[in-house]
Structure 1
Amino acid sequence: MNLRGSAIALGIAFPAAAALAAVGMPAGALLGATAAVAAAALAGLGPVVPGFLRNLAFVIIGLSLGAGITGDILDDIARWPVSLVGLALTIVLTMVITARLLVRGFGVSPDTAALSVSPGALSYAVVLAAQGHGDLRSVVVLQSVRLLLVTLCLPPIIVALAGVAASGPIAEGGAVVLGPLPTIAFVLAGLASGWLVDRAGSPAAYLLAGLVVSGLAHALGWVNGVLPSPVVFSGFVVTGAVIGCRFTGIARSDLVRLAAAGLVATGLSVALSAAGALCVASLTGLSFPVVWVAFAPGGVEGMAAIGLALGYDPAFIATHHIFRIVLVIALLPLAVRLAGR
């Protein structure tokens, strides 16, 4: 384990997260850690988040999301077909339009563009690029820029549109807080399940496992309570640090060369997700900010954390982002083949 890199990442992430959270910044823990660690990575300090801490943080986010799930989850999902169809259409339009923009406006090759604009499934896109589809460095830079910009910019915009953030499922006011032993047992169950799901090759394995473990336990009435706030805060901080570490090892020349392309492509994808969310909100009567967080083209862990921090329906957010990742994984090979023609 890289002790120096881990010390740098965590030593920067926690104070920055605490500072933004203290001043009331929306999703401050996540944003502070992301921005601070990304800056450290770009400065060449080499921050690193160990794999076990990354997995632990994703499990915590998943367990926290699952705490908001009730026995009415199937009825809830049955109310969301319009939004799921709208999300699918928005993803396809986003991939087609932003890929064409990169090709025609910035001279990016078609297969590189196809992998760079997928709104999620970064690891899968990088694997395909490493297998000879497109330029690997460009894919990594463009995808990392997307993750960073969406994570940093979306929460303040959402709160500006929606007003004061709602109290989320992690808020302890009136909620039963799990004690130390139940918390440890819950986390260990999530980690064990995450390991099995990861071995099966599932995307976002540890977050998904935590969500399922917690959701089932709460829906069946086996558990009634939320994780302690310090535990959830730590999950947000480490998740932000993981996002920031994406910029470790990226050459400044590559970043400068692709910065404009990444900024424009990300802005367009966010605008398209907002348009899709607005259409769905108009058709269904759902809250636009909630739908937008569910449609936003960020990483599933980061978007789940943002939705949780802003207090939005955890089942709605998690269902849509997991659906998005599965759909993107299904579409990417087809997009690469079409781009190669």
Structure 2
Amino acid sequence: MAAGTGADLRVIGITHAVRIMVLLVAIPPVIQAIGHVDLGNATPGPARWFTLPGPADTGWLMAAGVGGAWLGRRLRLPNALLFGPALASATLHLAGVTEAAIPPVLVALAQVLIGVSIGVRFAGTSLALVGRAMLMAVAQALVLLVIAMVAAWIGHLLTGYSAAAALLAYMPGGAPELSLVALSLGIEPAFVTTHHLLRISLLALLLPLLLRQKAAA
């Protein structure tokens, strides 16, 4: 969308990267403060790091990943490589075909890859541009964090869902990053991922219309 509107891709990329980085740093202490979650218990013990599902379950998970990615592209889902496998895996688990979980070591590896992918967006960018984008992104992230905390607490009071799950669901960060945080901390990953799927779907539908109206004005 940014490329299609002639916006500065460097500023947009850096702003999103810094915003996600700030939110990922801030989320754990905020969750522990408002969500009554013991993050120490969310860390798997040494024996669980390399716990692997059986051959049949491994096959189902791989099929959900590969088949879901293909299906997501065919359906033109937003972020097809994330939500296609998520929908395929959810279908298999809801149907009772498998109850397998992703090994913690793979979840940790995914977090490392996401961290690296955020960092490489700063390549070839001047410090002045990074500084301006960083100030804007930090201010934006803090405002969004406060809004998400208020919304999460209201959602918690109205629905009974945990404040931690509501915070991760309402946080306007990257869908892969926040879904992975929910998975790694064991905070209702299905609830969080469903909210981000809906959010990104609405944005993908509405943003082009808003951009066209702004260009026409």
Q: TM-score scaled by structure 2?
A: 0.83
Unaligned runs of 5+ in 2: none
Q: Which residue of structure 2 lines up, in the alignment, with residue 268 of structure 1?
A: 143
1:75-224 equivalence runs, <5 A: 128-161=1-34, 162-165=36-39, 177-180=52-55, 182-184=57-59, 186-224=61-99
Pair 1:290–1:166, CA change in 2 (3 A): farther
Count of residues in correspondence between the two structures = 211
Q: Is the CA contact (8 Å cut-off) linking 2:68 and 2:84 kept in structure 1?
A: yes
Give me the whole-angstrom Cα distance separating, in 2, the residues matched to 1:237 and 1:188: 24
- In 1, the alpha carbon distance for the partners of 2:153 and 2:75 equals 36
Q: Which amino acid aligns with 1:280?
A: G
User: What CA deviation, in whole Å up to 9, does each residue of 1:47-98 have, x standing for no partner?
Assistant: xxxxxxxxxxxxxxxxxxxxxxxxxxxxxxxxxxxxxxxxxxxxxxxxxxxx
Deviations 1:25-59 (A, max 9, x none): xxxxxxxxxxxxxxxxxxxxxxxxxxxxxxxxxxx
Provide the residue aligned with 1:124 in structure 2. none
- Cα RMSD, aligned residues only: 2.6
Between the aligned partners of 1:210 and 1:132, the Cα distance in structure 2 is 30
By percentage of residues, which structure has more helix?
2
Q: 1:235 aligns with which of 89, 110, 116?
A: 110
- d(CA) in 1 for partners of 2:114, 2:184: 13
Query: What is the aligned partner in structure 2 of residue 323 from structure 1?
Result: 198
Taking only the aligned residue pairs, the percentage that are identical comes to: 29
Q: Do the aligned residues in 2 keep the contact of 1:166 with 1:311 (CA within 8 Å)?
A: no
The 1-side partners of 2:131 and 2:3 are apart by: 22
Q: Write the distance in 2 (CA, Å) between the matches of 1:200 and 1:308.
A: 25
Query: Unmatched 5+ residue regions in structure 1?
Result: 1-127
Where does 1:23-42 land on structure 2 (aligned, <5 Å)? Answer: none
Rate the CA distance shift 1:190–1:184 in 2: closer, same or farther, 3 A: same
**Does structure 2 retain, via aligned residues, the 8 Å contact 1:148–1:244?**
no
